Amino acid sequence: MTKISSAKLSGQFRIGGEIAVNRLGYGAMQITGKGMWGWPENREIVRETLALLPKLDINLIDTADAYGPGVSELLIKESLHPYAAGTLVTTKGANVRGGPGLWNRNGSRNYLRQCTVLSAQRLGVERIDLWQLHRIDVNIPAVEQFATIAEMIKDGLIRFAGLSEVSVAEIKQAQEFFPVATVQNQYNLVDRKSEDVLNYCEANGIGFMPWHPLAAGKLAAPGSVLDAIAKKLGATPGQVALAWVLKRSPVMLPIPGTKNPQHLVENVAAASLQLSDADFAALDEQGRAAAAA
């Protein structure tokens, strides 16, 4: 089959009930150097990849101040600013970096406000329309971090706020301070630990942004159900896995990332795949079994 690359085919979702985005987005974690540290080896290929985003109708771009740190945000600004109408660049804060592959957390009020202001400067915006708490800092009461986020919304530093790698209980606790617009947890065909979080988000109109959405593990092996469906549709196993994620829930906002232009086109083409209910169910059964194993 001929697959069309347009994120419009993934449908739309309104973040916070207001900001309309095409559901298939882009994650900008991979555009930095090794270990998510420093500048990429080939900045031109990264710029080429980023320049394709509006041409493929991708208007949801996810990054974080910790990617680089700061490098991902700067590359997005270099390549796309001024942003096309309707483009939403989201970023995250609270993770701090000590070097390649090293991660720490800082959820203090001063740091959260500082990193938010600096992210806005790097992205070239006056206000961040969607800012997400990259991780809850376990050394600081979560309610203090949620109170700071509510304060940043009130002060106009951010418009909407979300959370990353959280439980349903943590979402409910945060909702006592501000409306949770999005949740970004790891989720894919074979990683179903956040199934309850996804169900809660769907029931409450919260956008769910799965990271690592293309993963399929051993299900992508030759002769598997996924492999057979991919061959039937004239697609790759990764495209089918992504199509399954999109079909799983109307609040699903997958953000597959790449620094390769052709890979980006292939990812977006997954939005044109039409999984039958039977194929979806077969993949779901296999995925749950793999996750349980």
Query: Pick from 73, 50, 60: which is nearest to 26 by CA?
Result: 60
Burial class for 66, CB neighbours closer than 10 Å (0-12, 13-18, 19+): buried
Can you give the pLDDT at residue 220? 85
CA-to-CA distance for 177 and 125, rounded, in angstroms?
25
pLDDT digits (tens, 9 = 90+) for 159-172: 999 999 999 999 99
Active-site residue list: 67
Is the pLDDT reported for residue 1 higher than 70? no
**Residue 215: which pLDDT band, with cuts at 50, 70 and 90?**
confident
CA-to-CA distance for 133 and 139, rounded, in angstroms?
15
Burial class for 62, CB neighbours closer than 10 Å (0-12, 13-18, 19+): buried
pLDDT digits (tens, 9 = 90+) for 154-202: 999 999 999 999 999 999 999 999 999 999 999 999 999 999 999 999 9
Is the pLDDT reported for residue 276 higher than 90? yes
Architecture of domain 7-292: Alpha-Beta Barrel (3.20)
pTM: 0.96
Can you give the pLDDT at residue 108? 98
CA-to-CA distance for 12 and 20, rounded, in angstroms?
6
Query: Pick from 244, 196, 185, 193: which is nearest to 216 by CA?
Result: 244
- Residue 248 DSSP SS3: helix
pLDDT digits (tens, 9 = 90+) for 62-79: 999 999 999 999 999 999
Contact predicate 226/244, CB 8 Å: no
CA-to-CA distance for 184 and 162, rounded, in angstroms?
8
Contact predicate 165/184, CB 8 Å: yes
Burial class for 175, CB neighbours closer than 10 Å (0-12, 13-18, 19+): middle
